[in-house]
Structure 1
Amino acid sequence: MRFLNGRLGFCATVLILFMASPRNLYSQSPFFPTSTITGRVIDRVTQQALIGVKVIVLGTGYKGFTDDNGYFTIERVIPGVYHLRFSTRGFTTEFKSDVVAASGRSVFLQVELEEIKNPVRTIASPSSYFFFDPMAVSRVLQFDFEEVRRSAGALEDPERFLAGLPGIQPLIDSRIEAIVRGSSPVENVVYVDDFELALPEHFGLQGFSGGLLGMYNLNQVRGMRIRTGGFSARYGNRLSSVLELNMREGNINNVEGTLGINSNAVGAALGGPAGASANWLLSVRRSYLDLAGGPKREKPKPRYWDLLGKLHWNVDYRNTITLIALAGLDAIDYSRSDGEYLIPSLLIDRARNLQDQYLVGGRWVSNFGRKWRIDISASVTRGEYALTIQDSTGRKLREVNAFEKEVTVRGESYLQVSSRFFLRSGLEFKPVEFRNTLEWVGDTSGFGNPLSAINADVKENSLKFAIYSEGEFFPFSNLLLKAGLRIDHFAYLDEFTLSPRAGIRWRLWPNLTLIGSAARLFQNPPYPWLSSDPANKKLHSMYADVATGGVEYLVVPDWKFTAEVYAKEYRNYLVSVEEPTMMYNSLGLEGGFFYGGKAVNAGVGYARGIDVSIEKKLSSGYYGLLSYAFTKTRFKALAGGWAPGTFDHTHAVTLTGGVQLSRSWTLSARWQFATGRPYTPFDAKASIAARRGVFQRGKFMASRYPEYHRLDVRIDLRLNFHGWDIVAFAELRNLYNRKNVYSYVWDARENELREIDHLPFFPVFGFSTEF
């Protein structure tokens, strides 16, 4: 008995010591899983690798140093959530939060440090957990993979995650249509690893940046940046925002993989080294709802595939080459059932949509010393789009067959002319080809205007060309002045556009910075509208004059307050001649099917507002973001006078946050509120008499939908095993089952007003395994 008691006492002592000092025993024991943290540290300005940077995992004894190519590796790390510090002599010290070490895969981080002797350093914010772009003169938001993945309401989709950010509201729960500062989904652009992607979502609409869900697996996304103000001269052909998605690289040491399933798709990914200085990544996903079987005439079941491939090669200390391929294949076939119509106002009985999109690109970045960098890239994007819509008699209401192809070759130089002056210059050459076959039956609008039938078959080859230059000057150590000019040419419209840009960044105190920008931004008319009428070849590009001013205040290293005011003046906006109240930026989900016909550049408008937010990074067990946005938009077409914009939400509040309950459990939530959008009410008597929707005269955009608000709650679980792990989540969307109204339509079959709602309460589950 004494022997047994001794054994029990010994075991109890070991257990107590283990629990009291888990990291030491955990990292030394072969019986417990461990992880590896890897990454690369580069110069923020020159993008060259930094050697000898010290990397410390805060609160532990883990540390490492970067090698000759800027890479570091920290092995045998206990699985968990960590915060890292990066420091070296002559450069700023940076922090990284939300670094999740898991046994199934290594963590790869890309970190940028700034040279202290450079004048840029003096306008930088103190070391913190927040992303800082020393050359940004308007608001830039950056989020890493883990911040997006764990976010309630995002469903692990980077673009759906945008709806919770300052100044950005969703259009409809079931789709991804970001409304940036009261603008429109047609005014946004998405770049993947610096390559423009025309249709970045599955089941997107021509001319729109949104869709049903993202065309990429979140597990392959390293991070994202969203620019919502007067962005750099290197970006063109959009009026509101630029979203940059950066794909991660493959593991440089060994092959790793991921298998996962969520509410609508299954996916797999592999990545690993390719020789001593290269790595590769491959990801594929497929929807599975169409495999569930069931009656043919039931709710539509989208079918899609997407594929991502990437190869990254560090040729030497100065040169890197990146190759990327992205593809998406979509199909959906809707047939009416149970007396329900896809669009009740038109008695649509069947709709079929097929679309394919491909992107293939290559990029070479070379540094000539520490003062000059060149960036040369070439890519091909190709998309095919087919849509057929039939009414209850089998008659085709709309038929679209479209093809778009753009070949983009871009060269850019970034030169440090002196210690106080930097110059970015670039050239972009883009041959384009588009074909549109459009067959639309004639109709009558809700205002009683006759809409002519459209029968167009257009095939065009044209050229887009751009040249830009931008200077960054530091007259004083705490002041950045920025000015640039972009010149675009679109041969099809036979026009040149000049887009000046200017900005200022002034650091008043170590933790307080003022920013301001002004720009004229242009956007070409979409290919389908250009094709729908011969007269549209005389159209011009739309433009907006944008001005922003803001303040960034770092309260403490993990708390930041930001506020920015903005004003936009729209000119030359496309307006339909036959439906004189309809502008291109007023189109939403339904309008994407039907816009076209003769148009003129007669639309004008403005947007004014303010975005305010306070954010807390996950550095002490919890994180959060509280944002408020006020927006006022007014537009004037050919008729209807000045009226609120279709996406004028006026007031919007978002509160999102979460807590790290333990190494394994994370709880998060997001609550959103927005003032109802404006709409034009129906004239009930006239609609009943005509058996179709007829709008009230003199009431254009005079009413508003009820306020929108909802709560999403999510819980994540991570289990670590030897060489692999499991990540599972459960999310309760619209937890208190708020009945949010999306729109009112006139049901032509029942001859009555009908309410279309956003999604009700529903749970979502998913899990993945990493090995």
Structure 2
Amino acid sequence: MRYLGSSMFSSMGKNITFIVLLFLSITASAQRSQTLKGRVVEKESKSPLSGVTIIITDLSPVKGTATDSNGYFSITEVPVGKHNIAASYTGYTGFNAADVEVSSAKEVVMAIEMEEASVKMSEVTIATRRDHINDMALVSTKTFDVRETERYAGSRSDPARMASNFAGVQGGNDSRNDIVIRGNSPQGVLWRLEGVDIPNPNHFAIPGTSGGPVSMLNSKTLANSDFFTGAFPGEYGNAIAGVFDLKLRNGNNNRYEFTGQLGFLGTELAAEGPLSRKSGSSFLFTYRYSTLQLFEGLNIKIGTSSVPKYQDATFKLNFPMGKGNLSFFGIGGLSSIDLIVSTLTKPEPELYGESDRDQYFKSNMGILGAEYKYTINTRTYTQITVAQTEADVFTHHEKVFRDYATFRLDSMKSVLGYTFKNSSTLTHWFMNKKLSAKQTLKFGLVNNYYHMNLTDSSRQYPTSRQDWQHRSDFIGGTDLVQAYVQYKFKPSEHITINGGLHGQYLTHNGSKSLEPRIGMKWTVSETNIITAGYGLHSQMQPLYQYFAHLPQNPASVMHNYDIDFTRSHHFVVAYERPLSKVMKLRLEGYYQYLFNVPIEVRTGSSYSALNQGSSFSRDYPGVLQNKGVGYNYGIEGTIEKRMARGYYFMLTGSVFDSKAKGNDDIFRNTDFNTKYAVNLLAGYEHKLGKYSTFIAGGKITMIGGKLYSLVDTAASNAYGDVVIYDSTRNSKLLPAYFRADLKIGAKFNSKRVTHEIALDLVNVFNTKNVLSQTYSPDLAAQGQEPYYKQYQLGFLPIFYYRIDFGTGKKK
């Protein structure tokens, strides 16, 4: 792989140079321009603002316009390139957006929200860049800006991997995109789309997890969204770690625009345009199909000898209706992989599977929803979203027995099979009322009804077992009902206070919680901002665990049916200082106390539910009780310079500690207590010609080593699976994680078409990072040390070519 990497890098570099020169000659012609348009609304009430002045400040002479009676604006003949956009309106704080990219292929559509000043002035000229979309968010919030995060090297166009660059978030697992926030399990993250809670939005998803190897989410369809890392507002429930609140953008309602992309990770097609120009309705659609067979042909290791297959699609239909707006949206994905080890002639560890069995795995997920917004008056609007989801997983394992002297296949035996079908009916209704320029009230209801069909059986422990042991045999449902109220108060231009209350109730066992939330922002001066927040948060357990039964018990005796919510107190304080118009410093400290955590009843057990949710296997604990506790505390910092003058950089770092206590009454490191995480990202863009741009970006990640436990060899050999010494849980440390990524490419604007070609070099130094210390029944059967080091991905070059174009008149 090393010699292939160097030779392939050299040849690809030559090819890219040739293509750059070719496109330079093609694009050196007439003036290129595009239309910039959008809508301006009031931030709290979402009512349109007419007469807002919109100007492009970097052009000479300045180009500009004003919004019409419905808040819409359009500026034609905007030259291709990066531009600064400013909006101003009497009595409102100003808005600006720097380095908005204008290409020849697609119109730029902006959604601008302006906030009324709490102190009336003839005109408020302070221009602001929003750090969050949600009006009630004040602390531990980061805007997921698609335009910015797509620049990050090594992110594979995956929103979860992009988010892992933020302070307080750690990745460090090349095989999965789990979001580990402040030492919490990724299971504690809530995924929300268009206002409703959704299942794990990843291909090859395992029940009880929130991550996976490949995301179904397509960044080409996403609008700017909110990402929360703690003490989130009252409208979010059933999460103790963080929230990813995703929004889909609307398609262009004036022109038909298309995107085609070919790359190592998939072939993609995207289309958008008007359904009716008269009414302003539009559609947006994307489809992606994997092409990982290319890696196999180039002998590039992707972590498995098998070829994963996946495809996904996303759509949104939008229908403006006077004071209302109706939209339909959906995401669907199919994935499958056959991990075959029976054909191997020598031992070869599987990054995505176990080395002692053939595994046949398939997962499907789909979301279909409708959203209706209605502006009641200039100060009040309401919204309701209804959706249906389906998440199905199918697995079958064939245990491989060998003559270990020759590694020859001896026999095979079916040892595991499960089918999990989970459907949910989701509803979220809320009303937002702007009481005055200083006060806003929001309240709503969320209802998630889950229906399950769960079957799980095993006969692998020990491997001589002939009868099947069932762990799940359940058909039925449960309902999670949530309600919330939030209140925002601005006593002055310098102080904002948000308060909230969230409640939730789980019907099948009566678990309930009432959770206060509060946040404060104090602008001490133009260069000193202090924020603080507190929240009590609760989360139910993975659904399949409630309805599992011990193999020796009948299916009706579900030993963890009555387990309560895990709960968590969040305390956050932060300091922010703008260093310039495009650069800022942010420091944030936090303390999180977790309680009511499920732990085993078994005496001396070190098990804690805080350690589950980040693997390719489900967790079937013994009898649980809500007597566990845990804590996380730390400090994190960010220095960020937005893209300006052709470059950007972001340095994030965090130092933290994460502990959990099981029934042995000892605080131990959690699985996610790597102690520190550092990310350095930088990017550079340089014009190659009047309409062509060279793109380069780099990223360095350093994360503390993962933890592991010592294996009880005798107990593991007898049981057929890993059994650890409770006294050594997470007491051993693997080497620290280091990875460097590099991205190079170029964009070319012809008259109506934009081309982009790029090469993303993941782990450019081919660093051998240790993923885990993995138990091997094969090695145990040979009398050898029964575990081995499993390594992360090596050097991975990801190439793509993208073309954008539009049809119809620019106006």
TM-score normalised per structure 2: 0.85
Q: CA deviation at 1:228?
A: 0.9
Report the CA distance between 1:649 and its aligned residue: 1.5
**Does structure 1 residue 755 correspond to structure 2 residue 784?**
no
Tell me the equivalent position of 1:739.
768
Give the aligned partner of residue 800 of structure 2: 766
CA distance in 2, matches of 1:367, 1:257: 32
Deviation at 1:582, TM superposition (A): 2.8
| Cα offsets for 1:466-513 (capped at 9, x unmatched) | 221122223444222222211111111222211111222222113322
Tell me how far apart the structure 1 counterparts of residues 336 and 789 of structure 2 sit (CA, whole Å).
27
Task: Give the conservation status (yes or no) of the 8 Å contact 2:264–2:799.
Answer: yes
Shift of 1:55: 2.3
Would you say 1:642 and 2:645 are equivalent positions?
no
What SS does structure 2 have at the residue aligned with 1:627?
strand
Task: Give how far 1:679 is off.
Answer: 1.6
* Preserved contact between residue 238 and residue 537 of structure 2 (Cα < 8 Å): yes
| CA displacement, residues 13-51 of structure 1 (integer Å, 9 cap, x when unaligned) | xxxxxxxxxxxxxx9x98343322222222111112222
| Equivalent residue, structure 2, for 1:715 | 744
- Number of the residue aligned with 1:246: 247
Q: Which moved more, 1:402-411 or 1:697-706?
A: 697-706
Match of 1:703 among 724, 729, 732: 732
Distance 2:145 2:262 in 1: 21
Of residues 315, 325, 330, the one that matches 2:330 is 325
Question: Partner of 1:392 in structure 2?
Answer: 400
Residue aligning to 2:20:
none
| TM superposition shift of 1:272 | 0.5
Change in CA separation of 1:618 and 1:120 when aligned onto 2, cut-off 3 Å = farther
Q: CA deviation at 1:742?
A: 0.8
What is the distance in 2 between the residues matched to 1:666 and 1:176? 25
In 1, Cα distance between equivalents of 2:198 and 2:33: 38
Shift of 1:456: 2.2
In the aligned structure 1, how far is the partner of 2:185 from the partner of 2:763?
24
* 1:439 Cα deviation from its structure 2 partner: 0.9
Q: Where do residues 643-722 of structure 1 align in structure 2 (5 Å cutoff)?
A: 643-662=668-687, 663-682=692-711, 695=724, 698-722=727-751
Matched residues, number? 736
| 1:403 equivalent in structure 2 | 421
Distance 1:208 1:408, change over 3 A: same
Query: 3-state SS of the aligned residue for 2:579?
Result: strand
User: Do residues 314 (structure 1) and 320 (structure 2) align?
Assistant: yes
Equivalent residue, structure 2, for 1:17: none
What is the SS of the residue equivalent to 2:162?
Answer: helix
| Distance in 1 of aligned mates of 2:788 and 2:583 | 46
Give the secondary structure class of the aligned counterpart of 2:560.
Answer: helix
Which residue identity lines up with residue 161 of structure 2 in the other structure?
Answer: R
Asked if 1 retains the 8 angstrom alpha-carbon contact of 2:598 and 2:628, the reply is yes
Tell me the residue number matched to 1:300. Answer: 306
Cα distance between partner residues in 2 of 1:766 and 1:282: 20
Match in the other structure for 2:189: 188
Aligned to 2:517: 501
**Letter in structure 2 aligned against 1:365:** K
CA deviation after TM superposition for structure 1 residue 127, in Å: 2.4
Match of 1:439 in 2: 457
CA contact (8 A) 1:504 1:517 kept: yes
Within 5 Å, give how 1:594-613 maps onto structure 2.
594-613=619-638
Is 2:561 the partner of 1:537?
Answer: yes
Q: How much identity, in percent, do the aligned residues show?
A: 23
Contact kept in structure 2, 1:126 and 1:510, CA below 8 Å = no
Give the match's secondary structure for 1:222.
Answer: coil
Query: Quick check: 1:532–1:598 contact (8 Å CA) kept in 2?
Result: no
Take 1:53 and 1:587, find their aligned partners in 2: how far apart are those partners?
51
Given that 1:175 and 1:211 are in contact with CA atoms closer than 8 Å, whether structure 2 keeps it comes out as yes
Q: Secondary structure of 2:190's match?
A: strand
Name the counterpart of 2:555. none
Q: CA deviation at 1:229?
A: 1.3
1:642: Cα distance to partner?
1.2
- Of 342, 362, 375, the residue aligned with 1:367 is 375
1:284 aligns with 2:287: yes
3-state SS of paired residue (2:312): strand
The equivalent residue for 2:362 is 354
Equivalent AA in structure 2 for residue 575 of structure 1: I
1:383 equivalent in alignment to 2:372: no
Select between 349-358 and 574-583 the one with higher mean Cα deviation. 574-583
The answer to whether the 8 Å contact 1:125/1:554 transfers is no
Q: 1:119 to 1:356 in 2, by over 3 A?
A: farther
Cα distance in 2 for partners of 1:231, 1:564 equals 15
Find the partner of 2:434 among 416, 422, 425.
416
Q: What SS does the corresponding residue of 1:274 show, helix, strand or coil?
A: strand
Match in the other structure for 2:266: 265
Q: Counterparts of 1:681 and 1:727 in 2: how far apart (Å)?
A: 49
In 2, are the aligned partners of 1:92 and 1:114 still within 8 Å (CA)? yes
Q: Residue by residue, what CA displacement relative to the aligned partner does 1:97-145 show, whole Å, maximum 9, x if unpaired?
A: 34221112112221211122468999x9952445356642312111322
The SS at the match of 1:749 is: helix
Per the alignment, residue 404 of structure 2 pairs with: none
1:680 to partner: Cα distance:
1.3
Determine if contact 1:195/1:361 at 8 Å carries over to the other structure: no
Match of 2:498?
A: 482
**Closer/same/farther in 2, CA of residues 640 and 365 from structure 1, 3 Å limit:** same
**8 A contact 2:273–2:284 mirrored in 1:** yes
When residues 406 and 621 of structure 1 are mapped into structure 2, their CA distance, relative to the original with a 3 A threshold, is: same
Work out the CA distance in 2 between the residues paired with 1:343 and 1:69.
Answer: 54
Structure 1 SS opposite 2:643: coil
Instruction: Report the equivalent of 1:426.
Output: 444
Label 1:627 to 1:52 Cα distance change in 2 as closer, same or farther (>3 A).
same
Counterpart residue number, 1:24: none
State whether residues 119 and 474 of structure 1, in contact with CA within 8 Å, keep that contact through their aligned partners in structure 2.
no
Equivalent in the alignment of 1:470 = 486
SS of the residue 1:147 aligns to: helix
Q: What corresponds to 2:553 in structure 1? A: none
For 1:356 and 1:345, locate their aligned partners in 2 and report how far apart those are by CA, in whole Å. 19
Alpha-carbon deviation of 1:290?
A: 5.2
Contact 1:127 1:557 in 2 (8 A): no
The partner residue of 1:554 within 578, 585, 592 is: 578
* Candidates 695, 706, 725, aligned match of 2:754: 725
Shift in Å, 1:576: 4.3
SS at 1:105 equivalent? coil
Tell me the SS of whatever aligns to 1:161.
Answer: helix
Contact 1:678 1:703 in 2 (8 A): yes
Deviation at 1:756, TM superposition (A): 0.8
CA contact (8 A) 2:40 2:114 kept: yes
Give the TM-score, by structure 1 length.
0.89
Cα drift, residue 348 of structure 1: 2.9
1:501-530 residue CA offsets vs partner (Å, 9 max, x unmatched) = 122222211332211111110101111111
SS of equivalent to 1:600: strand
Contact 2:296/2:307 (8 A) holds in 1: no
Amino acid at match of 1:745: T
For 1:118 and 1:302, how far apart are their aligned partners in 2? 58
8 Å Cα contact 1:150/1:156 also seen in 2? no
1:627 CA displacement:
1.2
Residue 70 of structure 2 aligns to which amino acid in structure 1?
A: N
3-state secondary structure, aligned to 2:544:
helix
The separation in 2 between residues aligned to 1:670 and 1:121, in whole angstroms, is 46
* Aligned counterpart, 1:100: 101
- Spell out, residue by residue over 1:259-282, the C-alpha distance to the aligned partner (whole angstroms, 9 max, x if none): 112222111111111222211111
Q: Distance in 1 between matches of 2:306 and 2:580?
A: 50
Gaps of 5+ in 1: 1-26, 446-451
| Contact kept? 1:98, 1:147, Cα under 8 Å | no
